[in-house]
Structure 1
Amino acid sequence: MRVLDVLRSQICPFFAAKTYTTEQRQYLLLSDTIGCKDQLQFLVELYFSAMVSACKLLFGQRIPFHFNFPFARPRYIQEYEVHLGHRLNFSQPMLSISFDKKWLVTPCLHRSDSLKWHAMKKAQANGIPKHGFLEAIRCYLTQQQSLGLQQVADLFAMSPATFKRKLKQHGYCFQQLQDELGKHHAIFLLQMQQLSNEESANLMHFNDISNFRRSVKRWTGLTPSQLRYSN
């Protein structure tokens, strides 16, 4: 995982992952880093197929990944099943991957320490790319959720109008990025950990359950109960 943190921007610059962990499973919630909404499904198919094939090569067997896709079930579902397996859920509120945590400590059968060393050295020599625009905003909001548009625009030395125009060029508005934080947290608590509405609302600092339900519906398009059983 540490190597991927260094090489991710070179291997897969189109997605960034936020990790969540339960007792048994590792979850990756993936976000679009450059505003590639029209090409999102194509890029997902390309990178996920490559990831499954690479892991099979390294471990000598296919890892049973579970995939959640934010788009409808495709007509060519057989190709998904051939390349990604059968653990597929479509029309989900978030693009995500999950797998058993044992794979994080399972030795690779075909590892190459020399190739790893050369790859790391080359990446460091070329300079690790900085976060893209959307990633940088997400980082600021994750560190301090109370930041408003004016404050974040100031961090980029932009006027609010220029900041909003640049966001629009990436296919986003500021409210969408703010809502992502709530969406991630709600998905983790309700869908991944299967907590009750009351437990989830308390952990997300909601004092009113009705307000919590409305917020989850706005973030994900699903009620808390629907989200809990949608996976």
Structure 2
Amino acid sequence: MRQVFENDSPILAMQPLLLPLIEMAEQRGVSSHKLLKGSRLFNEDLHQPNKRVSFKQVAQIFDNAQTLLSQDGVSFLVARHWLFSQPEAAFQALLNSRNLLDMSRVLQVRQAQIWPLMFFQSYRSANARHFVVNPAIAQVSAPCMEFMAEFLTAVIDQLCRWRFDMVSHLTVKLPYSQPKHVEQYQSHLQLQYHFSQPCFMVSVPTTYMYRPQTLALTSMRGFYLQQSKHAQAHVGFLQYVCSLLALNPKQSATELSECLGVSIATLKRKLKAHNTSLQVLKDQLQKQQAVIHISERGCSNEQVAQQLDYADVTNFRRNFKRWTGMTPSELRKLFG
């Protein structure tokens, strides 16, 4: 089994994100004590160069930040600071990729080193490439998900402004309703964004996947990839379980527990500790595939049902309504 880290594994070096977040919060009158409340961390802990934290602690801080500071757009500001202060070899390989397609390939092999908190699954349609993004370690609260989505969206926006002249051609679909602080989106983002979507997804027209980076040095891409090859890289618990489900969507709890090398009871405890269940993860995978088939590929209900191995189209429609809160026809109208 791959090296997997869990919700409470103290393995993350998050100082490049958390220290700027704390400083920006204090500049806005929010003390570090309030921002770190519930995380069992103190400001001085994060000034220790070798300090490692768990995702559970990080998620609590993101939750606090979104509750206390969303009106100030701190998630967008921290993203900009983080993007321009990344020294890791894996990130330098990303910056020296030839184009967005090459970047996506670097992310596939070095994602755990670049951004271990979320992972993406890539899908194609006739005219675009779509990247569905999910938490990599554990399911999170709505405020935490909002913070992470804002942060990652801002990183993508800034990166494409910096390395390409095409940010307005990107579209991000966000899995929550329009927030009260929507003016922060208007102020910080140039890409297109839509709220109340079935899943968190970044879409790029296929032609723009090949637009070259003028600042890239492809020889350095290979150098940095090789340099980062032996760096410690663990994969998040949810990401690993989802990768197993992607290979065999119908596998039982018994089969999955055997893959993980644990008992069924332990598997259930682990899933609960990561705020999910096997059925929720299976539903998530099927929902996202169905959304891609319907909204991006223009498939009929019969075609999607066949792709997802449903014998009964009515049963598929019923499940789709349960997953998304809308019927397939309503989704088509939304994207029409």
Partner of 1:132: 236
- Say yes or no: does 1:21 pair with 2:124: yes
Match of 2:311 in 1: 207
Provide the C-alpha distance between the structure 2 equivalents of 1:132 and 1:100, rounded to a whole number of angstroms.
29
Instruction: Give the SS at the match of 2:177.
Output: coil
> Quick check: 1:53 aligned with 2:163?
no
The Cα of 1:116 is off from its aligned counterpart by 2.4
Which deviates the most, 85-94 or 95-104?
85-94
**Residues 61 and 87 from structure 1, CA distance in 2 versus in 1: closer, same or farther, beyond 3 angstroms?**
closer
Per mean C-alpha deviation after superposition, the further-off stretch among 190-199 and 43-52 is 190-199
Question: Following the alignment from structure 2 to structure 1, what is the Cα–Cα distance between the partners of residues 128 and 166?
Answer: 19
Aligned-partner SS, 1:124: coil
State the 1:87 CA deviation: 2.3
- Does the alignment pair 1:77 with 2:171? no
Is 1:104 aligned to 2:209, yes or no?
Answer: yes
Cα offset for 1:202?
3.1
CA displacement at 1:61 relative to structure 2: 4.4
**1:89-142 CA distances to partner (integer Å, 9 max, x unpaired)?**
212111111010112211112113354234312310314x24322112111111
Aligned partner of 1:184 among 270, 274, 288: 288
Off by >6 Å, runs of 4+ in structure 1: none
Find the residue that maps to 1:229 and give its secondary structure.
helix
Aligned to 2:115: 12
Map of 1:34 onto structure 2: 137
1:189 and 1:195 in contact (8 A); partners too: yes
What is the total number of aligned residue pairs between the two structures? 230
Q: CA deviation at 1:7?
A: 2.2
Q: CA deviation at 1:219?
A: 2.0
Residue 193 (structure 1) aligns with: 297
On the 8 A contact 1:56/1:63 being kept in 2, the answer is: no
Q: 1:62 & 1:203 partners in 2: Cα distance? A: 33
Shift of 1:86: 5.9
Answer yes or no: is 1:217 the counterpart of 2:328: no
> For each residue in 1:29-85, what CA deviation from the matched residue of structure 2 results, as whole angstroms up to 9, or x when unmatched?
111111251311111111211121111111144252111111110112122123333
TM-score normalized with structure 1 length: 0.91
CA distance in structure 2 between the aligned counterparts of 1:194 and 1:60, rounded to whole angstroms: 29
Letter in 1 for 2:246: T
In structure 2, what is the Cα distance between the partners aligned to 1:121 and 1:178?
35
Paired amino acid for 2:173: N
Instruction: Indicate how the Cα distance of structure 1 residues 121 and 226 shifts in structure 2: closer, same or farther if over 3 A, else same.
Output: same
Match of 1:151 among 234, 239, 255: 255
Higher gyration radius (CA): 2
Normalised to the residue count of structure 2, the TM-score between the two structures is: 0.64
RMSD value, Cα: 1.8
Whether the 8 Å CA contact 1:191–1:229 is kept in 2: the answer is no
Greater CA drift, 115-124 or 136-145: 115-124
> In 2, Cα distance between the equivalents of 1:124 and 1:108?
23
Identity %: 27
Q: Which residue of 2 aligns with 1:2?
A: 105
| 5+ long unaligned stretches in structure 1 | none
How far apart, in 2, do the equivalents of 1:213 and 1:65 lie?
A: 30
In structure 1, C-alpha distance between the alignment counterparts of 2:250 and 2:312, rounded to whole Å: 19
How far apart, CA to CA, are the structure 1 residues paired with 2:324 and 2:166?
34
